[in-house]
Amino acid sequence: MPLKVGLLGGGSWGTTVAALVARNAPITLWARDAGTVDEINTRHSNEKYLPGARLPEKLRASTDIAEVSANVDVLIVGIPSQSFRSVLEQVKEHIRSWIPVISLTKGLELSTSMRMTEIINEILPGHPCGVLTGPNLAREIMAGQAAASVIAMEDQIIVRELQALFNSGLFRVYTNDDVIGCELGGVLKNIIAIAVGMGDGQGAGDNTRSALITRGLAEVTRLGVAMGGREETFAGLAGMGDMIATCISPQSRNHHVGVELGKGRAMQEIIDEMSMVAEGVKSAPAVMALAQKYAVEMPIASEVYQVVQGDASALKVFRGLLRVSAGAESEPG
């Protein structure tokens, strides 16, 4: 019998993952917005987040979180980081014991600096948990273009079962047991994507973009390893792969924020006109708190934090980054 799956979150990535899983197993998606749910069920589309995409007719949606989370064999959570905890609290009374819970969210909780799998372990103890992450731009995947992702869990028996659940056509899923590294790769690259976007918004060239991505990956790796991740993870799909896609694609929300900041626009003005969350903006304070806690120098992330907090302009920060003196490549800076 195929696994019965519930997915929480009706944004672009949650809807895309639901569409992929629907090819392999029965799945119901939960969304707060009744209009989105009705559109998925009747017109098999989600125009707000995936304009022009056709969703599988087998994909069902509901506004009833109890219906979606009860009696399922796998629960997938694609909720923005700052609402992640409150949604899991709602699920707690409905979910069956011991079923796997997989996060799609690439962010940190601002008040605690916790990763999403840490929140799952706190609220739903005893449930095997993991993360699906990688260079996954939703619209490209819905258009049928090839992509690769990583599912990371500590339990290697369960992770192989879930690998088959997510594998679909040209969407290839690899396994990894480095949950910390894979999860942090997806979180930390968002900050670097904002920095690259700030340069692009000011007319920077490919050489500058390449330097920022490379030096950004170095500081992301330093923090990730200090927190318990493995260095090789940050050279893979969850690290370098995700960073490249997020830093160069016009579909990237974090890159878009950086571009607009580079043009001199105000942070709040940019956020107000976006329909989806740019996790790098939300997570920047938590990232800097972790850098301080683990005594890791992150000069690029620090400058981005100053801009998103409104304490510095993108123009001033970007010029400052270009003037930083260069030491050994293995050193921060």
Q: Domains of the chain: which residue ranges?
A: 5-177, 181-323
**φ, ψ for residue 170 (rounded to 5)?**
-85, 5
Q: How high is the pLDDT of residue 326?
A: 56
Class of domain 181-323: mainly alpha
Q: Which residues are catalytic?
A: 189
**From CA 254, how far away is CA 233, in angstroms rounded?**
22
**What is the SS3 assignment for 147?**
strand
Q: Where are the beta strands (DSSP E) in the chain?
A: 5-8, 27-30, 60-62, 74-77, 101-103, 129-133, 147-153, 171-176
Give the pLDDT confidence score for residue 323 in this predicted structure: 58
Residue 184 burial (CB < 10 Å; 0-12/13-18/19+)?
buried
Q: How far apart are CA 146 and CA 151, in angstroms?
A: 17
* Chain-centroid distance, C-alpha 88: 17
Is there a contact between 303 and 216 (Cβ–Cβ < 8 Å)?
no
Q: What's the pLDDT score for residue 314?
A: 86
Residue found by looking up tokens 């895309």 in the block: 16
Q: How many other CB atoms are there within 10 angstroms of residue 319's CB atom?
A: 11
User: How would you classify the pairing of strands 74-77 and 5-8?
Assistant: parallel
**For the residues of 170-233, what is the DSSP string, one character each?**
TEEEEEES-HHHHHHHHHHHHHHHHHHHHHHHTT--HHHHHHHHHHHHHHHHHHHHHTT--GGG
For 282-303, write each residue's pLDDT tens digit. Answer: 899 999 999 999 999 999 999 9
CATH code given to domain 5-177: 3.40.50.720
In a structure prediction context, what are the per-residue pLDDT tens digits for the chain, which is 333 residues long? 689 999 999 999 999 999 999 999 999 999 999 999 999 999 999 999 999 999 999 999 999 999 999 999 999 999 999 999 999 999 999 999 999 999 999 999 999 999 999 999 999 999 999 999 999 999 999 999 999 999 999 999 999 999 999 999 899 999 999 999 999 999 999 999 999 999 999 999 999 999 999 999 999 999 999 999 999 999 999 999 999 999 999 999 999 999 999 999 988 899 888 877 788 888 999 999 999 999 999 999 999 999 988 888 888 887 766 655 555 566 666
Each residue's pLDDT tens digit, 200-218: 999 999 999 999 999 999 9
